[in-house]
Amino acid sequence: MVVGEIAEERDVVVIGGGPGGYQAAIRAAQLGKKVTLIEKESIGGICLSTGCIPSKLFAEAGKKRDSLQSLSRLGIEVNEAKFDLTVLQKTKQKIIEQLQKGIGKLIKENKIELIKGSAYFLSSDRIGVEHGHNFTIYRYTSAIIAAGCTKVSSRENSDQRLLDYESIFAIQEIPEHLAVIGDDYLALETASTFQQLGSKVSLIWLKGDFPFDVSINKEVKRIFKKRKISIYFDQKVKEVHANKKIEIVMEDESGETSTLTASHMVKAALRKPNSSALGVDRLGMKTEYNGHIVVDHACQTSINGIYAVGDITEGPPLAVKAVKQGKVAAEGIAGVSSEYDDTFMPVIVHTNPPISSVGLTQAEAEKTYENIKTATFPMSALGISAVTGRKEGFVTVLKEEGSDLLLGIHMIGEGAVELSTSSVLALEMAGRTEDLTFGFYSHPSVNEGLLEAIEALADKAIHLAPRK
């Protein structure tokens, strides 16, 4: 390859076509910028090809399969349901291709130049793109780094039974007994999904408790227990032996070891931000010691004109974060004063029933506010739950006494994901109790769960026995 001095001139260069990158590119184009998007693999990133979309498809399949049992109460008889994983895998492939095509079309329609290749920073205003034998240098005005993370490869990957939270959605057979190891939403989701797809599931939780409000933690445990998912809390995994079966040796708090035997195991892969591969070190860009790029509230890095968004920056590796950051960065480049603030970023878990959590949990609120009040309203008390037969879960809300300011809205139950936007909106608008109880809530619907929980803060929930 020849590194010439001739550089092609570009305006805004976006590195990486995942959810953060492509949305940044489109937003910048909407604001009148000429945009070049560099992607080395396929548009849509991990989210689309191995992350969010495949996992949610599996969750949907699990949920539907589970719901078959409850059809008979509606008079619908289903004889012996069959589940063909190969069809699900084909559907997954089709969805991915269809969504990729959609994004590709949008890129074209927004007149965004798409370049295939791996990018490497040469200086703070020049980037090289390598594609096969070609190496082209571009000089840009602004750049958005959305290059994400890469799995650090592992010897384990050669054994088809040792999976991570991406490869598990590419499997060809449903595990007979799946051991799920983790400490975040992915572990909960995967445990829930595969239990419903027919696996026996054991969850090895690496921490003391689940990460939600205490009320939700309790409900998840109850539901998992009912579904015969065994949970091992506060464990350290000492050894994994991939023999005829997968043997997992774990050690609890007190130092006692036990062995769990399973047919398959899933755990998080170690992922490394792609910052050094991009050569940001040579620019003197500020990174965390583990390589995550440090950005400010406008998503700008320590180098003027270079922005970074998504998994390559600090914070949770979630598409919801990347998407927001991508827009903020693009708007910053176009001179709009946007800000990224994750105070009310919802935590969503597609378990069955799903969880959504926004704002402070009780434990967090107690640290900051002197006088808080919480109320919980069970979904089972709603008319809609009687109709659908989905009675699990509840809504827990927190407010500051005196000011009536809402501090957190946490829910588990059918509809929790859809309702999460109401929670986010209420908290972003600095909503107080009356702001939420004033309006109308369609009947019958799960929306009423939120209404009654907030009414319960003032002991005014209709479908709740008076406090004794």
Partner 1 sequence: MEIKLHDIGEGMTQAELNHYFVKPGDKVNADDPLVEVQTDKMTAEIPSPASGIVKELIIEPGSTIPVGTTIMLLDSPHSTNQKQLNTRSMDQASVNPSEENRVETHKKNTDQKRILASPYTRKIARDHQILIQTIKGSGPAGRITDADVYSVIENEKSEINQASQPIEENTQKLKNTLPYTGIRKQIGKKVAQTLFTVPHCTHFEEIDVTEILQLKDQVKREGQSISATIFFIKALSICLKEFPVFNSSLDEQNGQILLHNQIHMGLAVNTSDGLLVPVLKNVPEKSFRTLQTEMKDLHQKAENRTLSMAELKGSTFTISNAGPLGGSTGATPILNAPESALMAFHKIKKRPMVNENDEIVIRSMMNISMTYDHRIIDGGSAIAFTNHFAELIEQPLSMMVEL
For binding to partner 1 (CB under 8 A), which residues are involved? 152-156, 165, 181-186, 204, 206, 235-240, 250, 267-271, 288-290, 292, 314-317, 337-339, 342-343, 345, 360, 364, 367-369, 403-405, 428-430, 432
* Three-class DSSP category at 357: strand
Order of all β-strands in the sheet with 246-251: 236-242, 246-251, 257-262
CB of 219 to partner 1, least distance (A): 21
Q: Would you list which residues are annotated within the binding site for NAD(+)?
A: 182-189
* Three-class DSSP category at 437: helix
Q: Would you list which residues are annotated within the binding site for FAD?
A: 56, 311
Residue where the block lists tokens 């070609």: 134
404 and 434 Cβ atoms separated by less than 8 Å = yes
- Cα 76 to Cα 60, 379, 381, 387, 447: the distances in Å are 20, 25, 25, 15, 27
Between residues 116 and 432, which has the closer beta carbon with respect to partner 1?
A: 432
CB of 8 to partner 1, least distance (A): 34
Between residues 127 and 265, which has the closer beta carbon with respect to partner 1?
A: 265
Between residues 228 and 367, which has the closer beta carbon with respect to partner 1?
A: 367
Catalytic residue among 133, 297, 443, 463: 443
What are the two backbone dihedrals, phi and then psi, of residue 287, each rounded to the nearest 5 degrees?
A: -130, 160
Between residues 71 and 336, which has the closer beta carbon with respect to partner 1?
A: 336
CB of 337 to partner 1, least distance (A): 4
292 in catalytic set: no
CB of 270 to partner 1, least distance (A): 5
SS3 content of the chain, % helix, strand, coil (to 5): 35, 25, 40
Residue where the block lists tokens 């992350």: 51
CB of 257 to partner 1, least distance (A): 13
CB of 428 to partner 1, least distance (A): 5
Between residues 66 and 251, which has the closer beta carbon with respect to partner 1?
A: 251
DSSP state of 339: -
Label residue 121 exposed, middle or buried (CB < 10 Å: 0-12, 13-18, 19+).
buried
Q: How far is CA 191 from the centre of its chain?
A: 15
Cβ count within 10 A of residue 99: 16
Between residues 273 and 413, which has the closer beta carbon with respect to partner 1?
A: 273
Q: Would you list which residues are annotated within the binding site?
A: 56, 182-189, 311
Label residue 37 exposed, middle or buried (CB < 10 Å: 0-12, 13-18, 19+).
buried
Q: Which distant-in-sequence residues (6+ apart) come within 8 Å of 216 by Cβ?
A: 210, 355, 357, 396, 410, 411, 412
Looking at the annotation, which residues are catalytic?
A: 443
